[in-house]
Amino acid sequence: QVAALEGNLAETAQKYSGEMEQLQAAIGKMEDHLSQLRLDMQRTKTDYDHLLRIKQNLEMEIATYRRLLEGEETVKEVLPPKKEPDVRTRKIV
């Protein structure tokens, strides 16, 4: 009976050893995949930060042009109308 139990124990150990190897392999693949996802996420964040800086710079440039255009309109409205030059004549007698 001890031999049967030892055989059963050996079978069980072998079975779980195989399952453990499969699980270790699956964990290894998942860790590799996770590392790749982290790299992709970092690249995406870097791209996002770069695009955000470009967007902010463009928004500032647009705001500058808008102020310049509004300033030109204001200048046009504020300028007094052109006067005809005063012409004086003298009559000598």
Which pLDDT belongs to residue 71?
Answer: 85
Locate tokens 């800086």: which residue?
53
Task: Express each pLDDT in 36-49 by its tens digit.
Answer: 999 999 999 999 99
| CA count, 13 A, side-chain hemisphere, 43 | 6
**How confident is the model at residue 85, as a pLDDT?**
63
Quick one: which H or E segment has residue 50? helix 2-78
DSSP 83: P
pTM (two decimals): 0.55
Q: Give residue 73's pLDDT band: very low, low, confident or very high (50, 70, 90).
A: low
Q: Distance between CA 75 and CA 68 in Å, rounded?
A: 10
pLDDT score, position 72: 73
Q: Which two tokens stand for residue 24?
A: 């270790």
